[in-house]
Amino acid sequence: MTSSKITPPVAKKVPLERTHHGHTFVDDYEWLRDKNDPEVVAYLEAENSYTEAQTEHLAPLREAIFEEIRSRTQETDMSVPTRMGDWWYYARTVEGKQYAIQCRCPIADADDWTPPDVTPGVELPGEQVLLDGNVESEGHEFFSLGAFSISHDGTLLAYSTDVVGDERYTLRIKDLTTGEMRADEIPGTAPGATWALDHSHVFYQTVDESWRPDTVWRHKLGTSVDEDVKVFHEPDERYWVSIGSTRSEKYLMIWVGSKITTEGWVLESENPTGEFRVILPRREGVEYGAEHAVIAGEDRFLILHNDVDPETGKKAENFVLAEAPVDDPSALRTLIEHRHDVRLEDVDAFEGHLVLGYRREALTRLAVWPLTDEGYGKLTELEFDEELFAVGPGANPEWTQPTLRLGYTSFITPSRVYDYTVSTGELKLLKSQPVLGEFDPTLYEQRREWATAEDGTKIPLSIVARKGTPENAPTLLYGYGSYEASIDPAFSVARLSLLDRGMVFAVAHVRGGGEMGRHWYENGKSLTKKNTFTDFVACARHLIDAGVTSPEKLVADGGSAGGLLMGAVANIAPELFAGILANVPFVDPLTSILDPSLPLTVIEWDEWGNPLENPEVYEYMRSYSPYENVEAKDYPAILAITSINDTRVLYVEPAKWVAKLRATKTGDAPLLLKTEMSAGHGGVSGRYEKWREVAFEFAWVLETSGACRAETSAG
């Protein structure tokens, strides 16, 4: 049982008035924003102590779940080797070690396209260790690998590390022929590094004060960082900058993108000190991507775009695929027309074929399109037999290769790695994610159901359970619903600990995500954002009305922008849920989006609207902001988890939310805040630490839903 003797921390009130568009909001807890204030740290630590005390009785259950995850995971494992140049590249994990070890071994000969058989724990002939994350992380509480980029000739490695959790990385160069580190060291970079073909120049990015990647730099090996050349700078705070190469490696590409507009710049990689030139000048509301292909012997750009069709006057909402000469990118010829039921997402070009990624009926699809001497052959979609699945390209670094590496998974199928032979259509299974113990996928089932939203829209629901799970079962309902991000089917070893205890797992594919195409996103953002919240409520009601679960057994789960969803749902329909789990939740959106000095605010205006300038946006956001709409009423049990170094959703948002809930809500449902005092947006960094974090959350979910009581948790 939870301890009732411990008094929860009560944050002091320091009223601060915020006035916009004639409306004044009194914020009592904004003082919690200063993480260098000892009083703020003391409050967060007091909340941590309270959470620890209130969940202490769950320790045996947490330990049981952790051991289940560990016992099902092949801790000493290897990825399937990927060929690049004269080497096979792969990663190892070793039992007892937190981080992966990056390795390579030589190919047998130029025609060697069959990955070597790997045995976990056994070195391959000629194996080289390129980077050991366990060595790099020594002496640090947090570790994240950013860039990991091999030069085209295979002799140099550019890699970057973050040992704080603030997503600012130090870039280093390792000579792979000698194993020695080069003198080059560049602090304060964004993750990522791109080599030029001459392997003496490397391109990287830096971020501004708001953590926005805004500048591309060129570094020449062996020179001082002070001599690095600023290649590109984007002053408009709505745009992020990135750099990479085409798959052919012939061109370097700089991409500049806001939420609704993109612009690409190109330069021949063999001329890294040259001037980048624009592909298609940016136009507000037009997004595009470009890939280099050689079609019938000529260099072409394959351009995915959502521009207006000049003939019909209609915007290609779900994108079209066009081609254009490299020297005249505006001379577009459409290859694949717009479809309302298919969202084109990606195109990869190889020497002899194209690979298309798209989305239909809320599922990802993959098709191979051979290239012929005359141009294009017959497009073939890869078919799979499960009702719900996710498929996508794997690592395919070579321009000329006879196979396509791809990944496949579902809610009940552990992830698989295949090689697809383009010439024959043969699909060869290279590896299935090992799940140790007595796991049998036939004991589980997944299905698609459709909830009906307030406006009549059908909302897809994915439902997963162990076969034989009775009706009215404890259920965890997950949602996200922002940025056109799709929550695709994926297997989880950890989730088995819920399913095997009789829980149902469900995903609400609400609007604001991208599952059903671009319109799904457009109808769940800015001034239609509330659809995201009401869709989730409709999915919860569907599960209850269908007899899958009941309010006293239903727990909602979401993180980051999905945490905004959790906070909104807590206000809108608290009676439908026994508990709400909110990870790094964006629960004070109006305060954040009103402050251009905060990380990422300006770029977010395309997603949420600009409440600084637009009174309609201000009033709309004010009407759903979880923090500003906390009321004196009963709420479900709430567990909020955050990280003090998070640069995306600041810890202060859940801290303020919990403080206000504690001072305002009625009833005695538990209210807990857990702050990681060293991690960033992704939480703790090592795999064992991540498993312990999952075990902490799952134990709380199991108890809150009634699936597992603490008294029996040890068993």
3-state secondary structure of 143: coil
d(CA 89, CA 433): 18
* CB contact at 8 A, 407 and 415: yes
295, amino acid identity: I
d(CA 647, CA 652): 11
Parallel, antiparallel or unpaired: strands 579-583 and 554-559: parallel
d(CA 539, CA 84): 45
Tokens 């909302």 belong to residue:
459
- Helix runs in 73-217, H state only: 133-136
Question: For this structure, is 340 an active site residue?
Answer: no
Which residue in 137, 560, 592, 625 is the catalytic one?
560
Greatest alpha-carbon pair distance for the chain in Å reads 79
* CB contact at 8 A, 680 and 643: yes
Phi, psi of 530 (to 5 degrees): -65, -20
d(CA 164, CA 176): 27
Tokens 């259509």 belong to residue:
425
| Helix H or strand E encompassing 137 | none
| Helix H or strand E encompassing 623 | helix 615-624
Parallel, antiparallel or unpaired: strands 240-245 and 251-257: antiparallel
| Helix H or strand E encompassing 497 | helix 496-499
Question: For this structure, is 79 an active site residue?
Answer: no
Q: At what angle do helices 59-72 and 687-704 cross, to 10 degrees?
A: 130
CA–chain centroid gap for 451, Å, is 25
* CB contact at 8 A, 604 and 596: no
Residue 628 is given by DSSP the state: G
- Measure the CA angle with vertex 128, ends 688 and 90; round to 5°: 55
Closest CA to 556 of 522, 598, 625, 505: 505
By CB atoms closer than 10 A (0-12, 13-18, 19+), residue 600 is middle
Which residue in 681, 685, 705, 713 is the catalytic one?
681
* CB contact at 8 A, 304 and 288: yes
By CB atoms closer than 10 A (0-12, 13-18, 19+), residue 186 is buried
Question: For this structure, is 86 an active site residue?
Answer: no
DSSP of 294-359: EETTEEEEEEEE-PBPTTT--B-TT-EEEEEETT-TTS-EEEE--BTTEEEEEEEE-SSEEEEEEE
CA–chain centroid gap for 447, Å, is 24
* CB contact at 8 A, 590 and 622: yes
Phi, psi of 258 (to 5 degrees): -100, -170
* CB contact at 8 A, 642 and 654: yes
Q: Helices H, strands E: what count in the chain?
A: 12, 39
d(CA 691, CA 697): 10
Query: Mind telling me the catalytic residues?
Result: 560, 646, 681
